[in-house]
Amino acid sequence: MFGLRKIISAKQTRLADAYTIENEPVSSIDLMERASTAFVNEILQEDLSNKKIAVVCGVGNNGGDGLAVARILQSHNIEAQPFLIQFKDKLSDDCQINFNRLEQVTVISSEKEIPDLSSFDLIIDALLGTGLQREAEGFVAQTINAINASGATVYAIDIPSGLFCDEITNASSVVQSDLVVSFQRPKKAFFFPENNAYIQQWRVVDIGLDEKFIQQQESHQYVLDEKVSLLVKSRKRYSHKGSYGHALMISGAYGMMGAAVLTSEACLRSGAGLVSSYVPKCGYEILQTSLPEAMCLTDTQYEHITSLPELEKYNAIGIGPGLGTNPDTIHVVSELFERINVPVVLDADALNILSTKLELIAEIPKNAILTPHIKEFDRMVGFSVNAQERFQKQQQFSKEHQCIVVLKDAHTSISDAQGNLFFNTSGNPGMATGGSGDVLTGIITGLLAQSYSPIEAALIGVYHHGLAGDVAAWQKGQYSMIASDIINNLRIA
């Protein structure tokens, strides 16, 4: 879909391996060498000079990768000491080949032989890989605990050992990695917030698996990355402000007019030809002074919005930032649902109003875009015990109500009415600051006004919102950036 890459399961990845081996063709050991070389090339971007490195390997193909990585590092004159944790008598065929290619490997056959790893600067985890189906225990668990207790930096090959690839892991022994270098695709496990303790950073390297085969696999989960930029339309020379739509932002209340300013400016910066901001009377001078490019309409009430303006001339509407939940305001959302005939974005207090008037959820306009953070979503659909359950509810909500849900988090997920789920890869913790969500609402509404489809607007908006945040973090630092820095860097993103 849209040229975005599918996320596939561990089983599907093994099928892709087998298909590539048969149809490229390439031998399995040469494919392992290719993957191990890609891993080494990736970590050589870090400064490994004068680093003492331990490569902790298991007996399967992940261990085979690790043994190959140790050999390749040694060929670069980097001190890399391989350890084979022999928790089974027989090694996989390719693991055995790479074992034989090394001059020296320290074989660990029991818990009492597990070395003190605290003398190493870097540990490369190649213990278990993606095929794990039950919690690590015994000898293997003790090895994982020794890695975590070492105090060393940890890089994991493909996935941290002890972590399940496709499901939430409730294990007591999982490698706590500083960097994961994943082969061909990120794993679904990377997008579960519960796994944050095990994955500080991840990257993906291409190892040449057959992409056409991967894209043909049954999966409704996608990676949202730079490929989405291909959806952005170029501007025609003989165009004018009317060519790019008229957006209406309904936002603000006394003491929360900053949200109205941010969302309206973001809407303009996203490319909308015209933006009107509908606010309570207290916001008139604020909007006119801070954002002269936007037109300002006011409610009859001074402190909060109590009614809607005429809607016929707008191409898209965004509602919610700083709106408040005054009893006089609650019915505005219901009235909007009755009157609207253009795409709409529901955010912040518009969503809080839905959670207090759950009967309104059934009235959500088809193809509406909802942009809740986790707590707002849980208030609408009920508490989830973990991210896996929440993603399922998100997909079900979109299918049932024929809408798009942008669930805001470190890796924001976007669900559509067909049950697809897109995981965003841009953004950073510096965006965890007041107003960032208001900016996103403005961006998406502006894209809708320009005649992007709702799913296109959501995907383009989320990715470039995060990318602008990445530029802002580079300029200001994650601690110092504020929401307006995101707006200011949309031109670069």
Q: Name the one residue in this structure whose structure tokens are 């975005």.
A: 4
The response to whether 446 counts as a known ligand-binding position is no
The response to whether 60 counts as a known ligand-binding position is no
The response to whether 283 counts as a known ligand-binding position is no
The response to whether 195 counts as a known ligand-binding position is no
The response to whether 206 counts as a known ligand-binding position is no
Alpha-carbon distance of 484 to 128, in angstroms, equals 44
The response to whether 233 counts as a known ligand-binding position is no
With contact defined as beta carbons under 8 Å apart, do 353 and 330 qualify?
A: yes
The response to whether 151 counts as a known ligand-binding position is no
The response to whether 322 counts as a known ligand-binding position is yes
Contacts of 292 (CB under 8 A, 6+ apart): none
Residue 364 DSSP class: P
The response to whether 208 counts as a known ligand-binding position is no
The response to whether 470 counts as a known ligand-binding position is no
The response to whether 269 counts as a known ligand-binding position is no
The response to whether 408 counts as a known ligand-binding position is yes
Neighbours of 362 (CB within 10 A): 9
β-bridge mates for residue 203, sequence order:
181
With contact defined as beta carbons under 8 Å apart, do 408 and 425 qualify?
A: no
The response to whether 161 counts as a known ligand-binding position is yes
Radius of gyration of the chain (CA): 26
β-bridge mates for residue 316, sequence order:
247
The response to whether 243 counts as a known ligand-binding position is no
Tokens of 313: 């001339």
**Helical residues (DSSP H) of 340-425, grouped into ranges:** 349-356, 374-381, 387-401
The response to whether 438 counts as a known ligand-binding position is yes
The response to whether 416 counts as a known ligand-binding position is no
- Between the CA atoms of 456, 188, 203 and 398, what dihedral angle is there, to the nearest 10 degrees? 20
The response to whether 387 counts as a known ligand-binding position is no
Alpha-carbon distance of 313 to 317, in angstroms, equals 11
Short-list 368, 387, 390, 388, CA closest to 379: 390
The response to whether 131 counts as a known ligand-binding position is yes
The response to whether 247 counts as a known ligand-binding position is no
Short-list 240, 188, 173, 180, CA closest to 205: 180
Residue list, annotated binding site for AMP: 408-412, 437
Residue list, annotated binding site: 61-65, 125, 129-135, 158, 161, 259, 322, 373, 408-412, 437-438
Residue list, annotated binding site for K(+): 62, 125, 161
Residue list, annotated binding site for (6S)-NADPHX: 61-65, 129-135, 158, 259, 322, 373, 438
